[in-house]
Structure 1
Amino acid sequence: MTLDDFMEVDTQKAELGRLLFYDKILSGNRNISCGTCHHPAFGTSDGLSLGLGEGGLGLGPDRVSGTGLDRIVKRVPRNAPALWNIGAKSISVLMHDGRISVDPIYGNGFNTPAEEWLPDGLESLIAAQALFPMTSSIEMAGNVGENEVIGATRDRIDAAWPIIAKRVRTIPAYGDRFVAAFDEVDTSEEVSITQIAEALAHFMVQDFTSFDSSFDAYLAGNETALTDQQRKGMELFFGDVGCSSCHSGPLFSDQQFHALGLPAFGPGRTRKFDPYARDVGRMGETDDLKDAYRFRTPMLRNVALTAPYGHNGAYPTLERMIRHHMTPEAARLAWSPGDLTLPDVPWLSDIDFVIQQDRIEMERQAHARDIHIASRNDSDIAALVAFLESLTGSAAKSGNSRIPEQVPSGLDIDR
């Protein structure tokens, strides 16, 4: 891979995006930022199986659910995806269920939950994606009655974004930076959510593009860059085991959707007519029964930094995730809630595992399986883990993405 494979970055926009990424001004209640759930310390994820968004306190596995009227009302239904390399030009679909994609269907270049109400002028898929946590009640927007952002979202999704944009542009330090960074912006009054999303996109591409791993050094001709065990794992990955049939290409993903039959728990990302907490995956976007329980193939660069694994963070280690691919029935039997990094939230405990009481639904999910890999011995599995660890970039491993000391809003930063 080279930088030509990624969206071109404007440094001035990226540094403005850095401030916005860590500034809680983008959230309804001014209490959570993009960086709270996509933090460099946790591989640009949050270290949790299912996140605690709006209302939570703290960072990573130490995050707690809050108290009183400000406490969380629902877990984030899916594992927070890492942000590595999502600025690649070859990516045309994002999110676990692919609900954000490049598509001309609505005349704005993208197929998103905002449909025809997506703001005009967005230049990249990653910028389009950046808008939607701001309108999610459980991620950043807050609960109905708490602030004007969530109230506007309930009227129509695009009604919230001008409110957020006004918050940002009326802070002089932000307004001046936008005028300097964007040619189309002559005064701070012209700043819209489009420029905010683009600044966030430039930052994420600048700081979270990663192709400087030991594996990359090996491809470049350094035969000593991989250990003997890592080379064995590479041969298995691209050979007999067949991992590369789905984890293909330089990003290690075919960008398609596959069912693994992972253990089910949590609230799930339910549709309006789902009667209980379940997650049908890609079918929730397409309404096509053949897509039931299928989820997007994750990209694997820096995967060793982004535990836990699976669309719901079911497995704590790469070894456990690999074993599930090979023997899903045995893996589900061996699985228990103790495998999760799931902060205790007593008022949600009845919901966390209610899906497991539905025998028919559990059988449906267990039988939805697209991946069939022969079981391997412990040595082979250890070699595969070692190879996946060789995909960790040097910059990512050192955690050198800089967190600002302060942000223009003056709000505190989660570190």
Structure 2
Amino acid sequence: MVKLSDFQYHLPMKFTHPTFLGLALGFFCTSVSVHASSLDNFIRNRMELFDITPYQTQSLEQTDEFQSKMRLGRMLFMDTNLSGNRNISCMVCHHPMRGTSDGLPLSQTVDGKGVLKRNSPGLYNVGDKFSTFMFWDGRVHFHPTKKVFTTPEPALNGPTPQAAEIAKAMTSALAAQAIFPLVSHEEMSGKKGENEIADAKTNLEAWDLIIKRITQETNGAGYINLFNRAFPGQPKMNIGHVGEAIATFERYQFQSNTSGFHRYVAGDNSAMTEQEKRGFVVFMDRGRCIACHQGNLLGLNTFFASVGVPSYGAKPFEMDIGRGEINNERFRAFFFKTPSLINVALTAPYFHNGAFSTIREVLNHYNNIEKSLNTYTITDERRKLFPVEVEVRNSQKDLSELFASIEAGFLRNGLGLSSAELDDLEAFLTGALTDPKWDPRGPKSKK
């Protein structure tokens, strides 16, 4: 049995969200000695303090309406006809065998000749009820109480949206998110002059053309039949129903709660190795990862933060300021949404721009962000992943602006974790958080 009597840990109070914000700013309680009888007892006390509880997935309904909505969502998720040039589907950038992403640092443009400015995020547990912001910058938001949207399309927004029938068909931020890549020239619709969807003058016109295409062509009868069963009583299919069906499929298809971590939280002390348990302690204490990666999904919440991620992109490019571009929130420049860490070993590369290829690189970055920013480079081998030339923004002015955006003092100062602590933390992230249901590498033995 591992004893903790010789270790020092921070002992915080039980948290509400504002207290977590205090944590993120570095206001930890004074370090005190903890004398625990066992590692498991210590961890479970800590889990109670941080309100980490068993995660319950959502059960699939057996009604014809729900099952039809799932089938409709699956068809749409895989259908290239939703893209302007009929050459890409949602699954291309969110493939189950690539961690529900595309495995690239920066996703490629629809023609394969360029790159987007961000990494394609994974979909594990993306339909969680607390996930009310979508995209790395949170530009799509659904207020669960007021039942109103905030999106890049004004016609969908507010209590009395212009496109009320579309907004009414969607019940989550996930549903609204699903319809925006369809009208992005870089992601799915293609360049102007290539097809009628790309040539549409407005998003609403483009969405109508997509509905016309999928209901009147080869699979039209199948789509209409499933629509009538999935949305009984609705007179006409619109793009909101497309988003709602895709969201339903993603919400239930990509659920994950059988990792060692989740089984441990549910009460099975044997579900994690001793090293993974030590890593979990580092995660909650000296590593302070819990400051942003909260709850039973360790992220995927409403928390946005700047953690000093190196800035790079297709040459030439403007620095991506994330949340700072939304609603003129310049004071939140370089803030990005905190992702869930469940199955993080499967979703490389990491951060909003795929800046780091491995989890160890990420941990080294957090351990000394100032050094990481000043020494970050893109290797020749990694440059082969991009169809265009990329560059790093690393002038003194750029680095100073990026470093200054980090609110958490403990991050600016560096975590200062030892090699042994980094090893333990890496073991927790790569082992305990990986759900065997989704791991293409096969089952791992516990040593």
Measured against the shorter chain, the TM-score band is: 0.7 to 0.9
Quickly say closer, same or farther: Cα 1:280–1:216, change in 2 above 3 A: same
Partner secondary structure for residue 396 of structure 1: coil
Quickly say closer, same or farther: Cα 1:399–1:195, change in 2 above 3 A: farther
1:315 corresponds to which residue? 356
Structure 2: 5+ residue runs without aligned partners? 1-54, 157-162, 443-447
TM-score, normalised relative to structure 1: 0.82
Is 1:2 paired with 2:56?
yes
Q: How does 1:141-290 map onto structure 2 within 5 Å?
A: 141-152=189-200, 155-170=201-216, 171-185=220-234, 190-253=236-299, 254-267=301-314, 276-290=317-331
The offset of 1:374, in angstroms, is: 2.0
Contact 2:97 2:440 in 1 (8 A): no
| In structure 1, C-alpha distance between the alignment counterparts of 2:153 and 2:197, rounded to whole Å | 15
Partner secondary structure for residue 120 of structure 1: helix
Quickly say closer, same or farther: Cα 1:366–1:6, change in 2 above 3 A: farther
**Which of 396, 403, 411 is 1:366 aligned to?**
403
**Which of 132, 141, 158 is 1:92 aligned to?**
132
Partner secondary structure for residue 167 of structure 2: coil
RMSD (Å) for aligned C-alpha atoms: 2.6
Contact 2:94 2:100 in 1 (8 A): yes
Is 1:394 paired with 2:439?
no
Q: Deviations over 1:328-362 (max 9, x none)?
A: 1222344321288555556x32xx21644x54233
* Percent of aligned pairs sharing the same letter: 34
Higher relative CO (Cα under 8 Å, sequence separation at least 6) belongs to: 1
Structure 1: 5+ residue runs without aligned partners? 57-71, 269-274, 401-415
Is 1:113 paired with 2:152?
yes
Quickly say closer, same or farther: Cα 1:197–1:265, change in 2 above 3 A: same
Q: Deviations over 1:370-404 (max 9, x none)?
A: 3425211111111111111211122222599xxxx
The offset of 1:185, in angstroms, is: 3.9
| In structure 1, C-alpha distance between the alignment counterparts of 2:61 and 2:285, rounded to whole Å | 32
Quickly say closer, same or farther: Cα 1:344–1:241, change in 2 above 3 A: closer
Which ranges of 4 or more aligned residues in structure 1 deviate by more than 3 Å? Answer: 4-9, 339-346
The one-letter code of the counterpart of 2:123 is L
Partner secondary structure for residue 197 of structure 2: helix
Partner secondary structure for residue 314 of structure 1: coil
Is 1:335 paired with 2:376?
yes
2:15 corresponds to which residue? none
| In structure 2, C-alpha distance between the alignment counterparts of 1:375 and 1:359, rounded to whole Å | 24
Contact 1:32 1:53 in 2 (8 A): no
Partner secondary structure for residue 176 of structure 2: helix
Quickly say closer, same or farther: Cα 1:2–1:299, change in 2 above 3 A: same
The offset of 1:143, in angstroms, is: 0.6
The one-letter code of the counterpart of 1:215 is F
The offset of 1:134, in angstroms, is: 0.4
- Structure 1 stretch 337-346 or stretch 277-286: which is displaced more? 337-346
2:391 corresponds to which residue? 353
| In structure 2, C-alpha distance between the alignment counterparts of 1:370 and 1:29, rounded to whole Å | 43
| In structure 1, C-alpha distance between the alignment counterparts of 2:265 and 2:136, rounded to whole Å | 29
Contact 1:91 1:255 in 2 (8 A): yes
2:104 corresponds to which residue? 48
Quickly say closer, same or farther: Cα 1:54–1:342, change in 2 above 3 A: farther
How many residues are treated as equivalent by the alignment? 368
The offset of 1:13, in angstroms, is: 1.0
The offset of 1:149, in angstroms, is: 0.9
The offset of 1:97, in angstroms, is: 0.8
Quickly say closer, same or farther: Cα 1:384–1:91, change in 2 above 3 A: same
Quickly say closer, same or farther: Cα 1:396–1:176, change in 2 above 3 A: same
The offset of 1:126, in angstroms, is: 0.8
| In structure 1, C-alpha distance between the alignment counterparts of 2:317 and 2:246, rounded to whole Å | 35
The one-letter code of the counterpart of 1:360 is K
The one-letter code of the counterpart of 2:400 is E
The one-letter code of the counterpart of 1:111 is T
Partner secondary structure for residue 332 of structure 1: helix
| In structure 2, C-alpha distance between the alignment counterparts of 1:205 and 1:162, rounded to whole Å | 25
The offset of 1:291, in angstroms, is: 0.4
TM-score, normalised relative to structure 2: 0.77
Contact 1:104 1:110 in 2 (8 A): no
| In structure 1, C-alpha distance between the alignment counterparts of 2:285 and 2:366, rounded to whole Å | 16
1:60 corresponds to which residue? none
Contact 1:7 1:88 in 2 (8 A): no
Partner secondary structure for residue 353 of structure 1: strand
